[in-house]
């Protein structure tokens, strides 16, 4: 199968078109179409995972020949006269940094589709947009041409804007616009950097300027006096152009991650978004940010990354602590989980900034782990909200008595998230911190106190999760809605179990056998570290 990545990416788009074409008499079947697509994607991605070669000969990163499942088709060729020939490729491929995200995306999309059963209005538009989003997310993780990457990257915004704005809660328009403008703000400047890179890099094979990301990682492909040349040391506004470009790209992706102080779109977007969109936001969109930092920011501007590593680490620690403290102060369960995402994604940044194999492995695992766990958490919140349309922590008490199985899943999700050993988040956070700590000896990028500061976040996460457990689930049952709620709060059903069990299994499997992920990523991470910090 030469075009398997294309199939993976465009299958949902085809299904979306099908849904648009089908008449409204099929409206009850749209969700099954969407579900079928995600199931097929899940199988494809698992097949890709199993078939993925973990040898160093297929490490990828900055060597085009080492990427797997390569697809490269000339896409746009335009003679621009004196400027040269516009060269944009339809260029896909995966390595150890992107492959795990394909599996994660397929799984999270599957769960999100199952969560979409709650959608009551305008099925056609909803599922078409959901599938369009699916295409965009898959595309981002596969694209190796910067132009193509940017197309997919921006394509994610459109369906999300409508999904939040049309099916969201009371303040959905505010949240949707905030989200849209926030992310657009980052990506507009990103476009400038992309254009700058385009004019700086020459494809040695054809002599044309190129958008090929992999070629951008090799300093010898830069024109000697170009703006982003590694030797010319061009300056813009008094600072090195490459450093500036790194910062701009970093801000663009950091908004997605999100890091403090660029995070405030996230709680609003999460609170207003319908459950499936929250799942996708937390499970995948945030990971696009982390992936972008690895694949684009650091890989293309490694020396600028080394220069800024201290600041990246600091932002990571601040995100961990600040996110956790904010989570502690929340009264709305969904907002609490949104802030906990900020905290947990801080570990990703800290691990990446360490520039060590341990740290980056931890960060990658944290992204995968958090992808599954945040999907699980938002699904669980959605279940309560769907039943009684309330999510205030204070409105509930003693839920364990009336919803024991639901509570069991909540306990699993909470403890997995707070880093209980045996679950993936523990391994991920432990190695992010270990990497951050060893960084002082290995490359001197981060001081040791940052790792210890990050460790305090583990304590705080235990505090807010356990406090929530105690307040909402334990004690004698007492509900704000009284007996009406009592009859509405039914325990978990089959569909919900089907969605939750795979996520719990993923967290458990990666926690006990982290090599399931580490072995596939190791070669790529080593190559990445080689590129990053030498």
400 binds another protein (CB under 8 A): yes
Which of 169, 129, 383 shows the shortest CA–CA distance to 274? 169
Min dist CB 473 to another protein, Å, is 8
CB 351 within 8 A of CB 439: no
Nearer to another protein, 317 or 451 (CB): 451
Binding mask 269-308 for another protein (x = CB under 8 A): ----------------------------------------
- Residue 73 CB-density burial (10 A; 0-12 exposed, 13-18 middle, 19+ buried): exposed
Min dist CB 203 to another protein, Å, is 32
361 binds another protein (CB under 8 A): yes
Could you tell me which stretch among 124-132, 155-163, 279-287, 426-434 binds another protein (CB under 8 A)?
426-434
- Give 120's contacts (C-beta < 8 A, 6+ positions apart): none
Which of 500, 521, 508, 514 shows the shortest CA–CA distance to 107? 500
**Distance between CA atoms of residues 49 and 40, nearest Å:** 14
Q: How many residues bind another protein (CB under 8 A)?
A: 59
Nearer to another protein, 195 or 469 (CB): 469
Pairing of strands 68-79, 235-236: unpaired
Question: In the range 72-91, which residues lie near another protein by CB under 8 A?
Answer: none
431 binds another protein (CB under 8 A): yes
463 binds another protein (CB under 8 A): yes
Could you tell me which stretch among 40-48, 211-219, 221-229, 516-524 binds another protein (CB under 8 A)?
516-524
Nearer to another protein, 146 or 265 (CB): 265
Six-digit token string for 311: 């600041």
162 binds another protein (CB under 8 A): no
**Distance between CA atoms of residues 51 and 272, nearest Å:** 40
415 binds another protein (CB under 8 A): yes
Nearer to another protein, 300 or 336 (CB): 336
| Residues paired with 85 in a beta bridge | 79
Residue 61 φ/ψ region, left for φ over 0, alpha for ψ in the -120 to 50 degree band, beta for the rest: left
473 binds another protein (CB under 8 A): yes
Residue from the set 111, 337, 430, 492 that interacts with another protein by CB under 8 A: 430
CB 288 within 8 A of CB 156: yes
Nearer to another protein, 161 or 265 (CB): 265
Under DSSP, is residue 212 helix (H, G, I), strand (E, B) or coil? strand
Which of 336, 371, 338, 364 shows the shortest CA–CA distance to 350? 364
Residue from the set 56, 206, 470, 493 that interacts with another protein by CB under 8 A: 470
CA distances from 485 to 37, 67, 356, 359 (A): 35, 54, 51, 46
Min dist CB 416 to another protein, Å, is 11
Could you tell me which stretch among 140-148, 161-169, 215-223, 510-518 binds another protein (CB under 8 A)?
510-518
**Distance between CA atoms of residues 101 and 94, nearest Å:** 10
Tokens 């490729």, residue? 89
Question: In the range 341-360, which residues lie near another protein by CB under 8 A?
Answer: 357-358
Nearer to another protein, 191 or 512 (CB): 512
CB 386 within 8 A of CB 275: yes
Min dist CB 315 to another protein, Å, is 14
Nearer to another protein, 155 or 325 (CB): 325
505 binds another protein (CB under 8 A): no
**Distance between CA atoms of residues 110 and 106, nearest Å:** 6
Nearer to another protein, 169 or 475 (CB): 475
158 binds another protein (CB under 8 A): no
Min dist CB 359 to another protein, Å, is 10
Residue from the set 131, 148, 216, 328 that interacts with another protein by CB under 8 A: 328
Nearer to another protein, 86 or 157 (CB): 157
522 binds another protein (CB under 8 A): yes
CB 263 within 8 A of CB 342: yes
Could you tell me which stretch among 88-96, 99-107, 257-265, 500-508 binds another protein (CB under 8 A)?
257-265
CB 112 within 8 A of CB 279: yes
SS3 content of the chain, % helix, strand, coil (to 5): 75, 5, 20
**Distance between CA atoms of residues 196 and 236, nearest Å:** 12
Min dist CB 84 to another protein, Å, is 38
455 binds another protein (CB under 8 A): yes
22 binds another protein (CB under 8 A): no
CA distances from 18 to 12, 26, 91, 338 (A): 10, 11, 26, 34
Mark 123-158 as b/e (b = at least 16 C-beta within 10 Å). Answer: bbbbbbbbbbbbbbbbbbbbbbbbbbbbebbbbbbe
Residue from the set 325, 388, 508, 509 that interacts with another protein by CB under 8 A: 325
451 binds another protein (CB under 8 A): yes
Nearer to another protein, 62 or 200 (CB): 62
Six-digit token string for 389: 């349309």
476 binds another protein (CB under 8 A): yes
| Residues paired with 74 in a beta bridge | 89
Residue/partner pairs of 305-308 with CB below 8 Å, 24 or more apart? 305/246, 305/355, 305/532, 306/355, 306/443, 306/445, 306/532, 306/533, 307/243, 308/243, 308/246, 308/247, 308/250
Residues that bind another protein in the complex, under the rule CB under 8 A: 178, 181-182, 260-261, 263-265, 322, 325-326, 328-330, 357-358, 361, 398, 400-401, 415, 420-422, 426, 430-431, 433-434, 437-438, 440-441, 448, 451-452, 455-456, 458-459, 462-463, 466-467, 469-470, 473-476, 513-515, 518-519, 522, 525-526, 529
């Amino acid at each position: 199968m030469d075009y398997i990545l294309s199939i993976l990416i465009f299958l949902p788009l085809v299904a979306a078109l099908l849904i648009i074409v089908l008449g409204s008499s099929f409206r009850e079947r749209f969700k099954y179409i969407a579900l079928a697509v995600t199931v097929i994607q899940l199988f494809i991605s698992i097949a890709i995972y199993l078939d993925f070669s973990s040898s160093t000969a297929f490490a990828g990163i900055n060597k085009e020949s080492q990427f797997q499942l390569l697809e490269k088709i000339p896409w746009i060729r335009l003679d621009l006269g004196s400027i040269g020939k516009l060269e944009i490729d339809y260029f896909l491929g995966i390595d150890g940094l992107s492959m795990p995200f394909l599996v994660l995306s397929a799984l999270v999309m599957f769960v999100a589709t199952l969560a979409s059963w709650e959608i009551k209005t305008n099925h056609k538009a909803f599922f078409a947009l959901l599938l369009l989003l699916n295409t965009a997310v898959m595309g981002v993780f596969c694209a190796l041409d910067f132009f193509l990457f940017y197309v997919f990257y921006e394509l994610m915004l459109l369906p999300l804007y409508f999904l939040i704005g049309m099916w969201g809660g009371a303040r959905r328009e505010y949240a949707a616009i905030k989200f849209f403008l926030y992310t657009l703000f980052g990506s507009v400047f990103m476009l400038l950097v992309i254009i700058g890179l385009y004019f700086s890099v020459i494809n040695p094979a054809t002599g044309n300027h190129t958008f090929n990301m992999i070629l951008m990682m090799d300093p010898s492909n830069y024109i000697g006096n170009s703006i982003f040349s590694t030797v010319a040391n061009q300056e813009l506004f008094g600072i090195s152009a490459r450093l500036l470009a790194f910062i701009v790209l970093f801000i663009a992706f950091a908004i997605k991650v999100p890091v403090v102080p660029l995070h405030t779109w996230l709680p609003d977007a999460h609170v207003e978004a319908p459950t499936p969109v929250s799942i996708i936001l937390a499970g995948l969109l945030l990971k696009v940010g982390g992936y972008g930092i690895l694949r684009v920011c650091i890989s293309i501007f490694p020396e600028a990354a080394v220069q800024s590593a201290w600041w990246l680490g600091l932002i990571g620690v601040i995100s961990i602590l600040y996110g956790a403290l904010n989570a502690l102060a929340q009264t709305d369960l969904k907002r609490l989980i949104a802030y906990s995402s900020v905290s947990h994604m801080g570990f990703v940044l800290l691990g990446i900034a360490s520039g060590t194999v341990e740290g980056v492995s931890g960060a990658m695992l944290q992204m995968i782990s958090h992808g599954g766990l945040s999907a699980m958490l938002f699904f669980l919140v959605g279940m309560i909200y769907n039943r009684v349309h309330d999510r205030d922590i204070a409105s509930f008490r003693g839920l364990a008595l009336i919803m024991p199985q639901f509570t069991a899943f909540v306990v699993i999700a909470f403890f997995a998230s707070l880093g209980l050993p045996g679950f993936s988040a523990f391994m991920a956070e432990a190695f992010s911190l270990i990497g951050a700590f060893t960084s002082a000896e290995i490359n001197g990028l981060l001081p040791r106190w940052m790792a210890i500061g990050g460790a305090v976040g583990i304590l705080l996460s235990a505090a807010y999760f356990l406090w929530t457990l105690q307040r909402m689930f334990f004690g004698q049952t007492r509900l704000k809605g009284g007996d009406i709620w009592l009859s509405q709060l039914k325990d978990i059903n089959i569909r919900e179990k089907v969605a939750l069990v795979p996520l719990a299994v993923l967290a458990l499997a990666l926690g006990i056998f982290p090599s399931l992920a580490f072995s596939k990523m190791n070669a790529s991470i080593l190559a990445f570290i080689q590129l990053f910090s030498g």
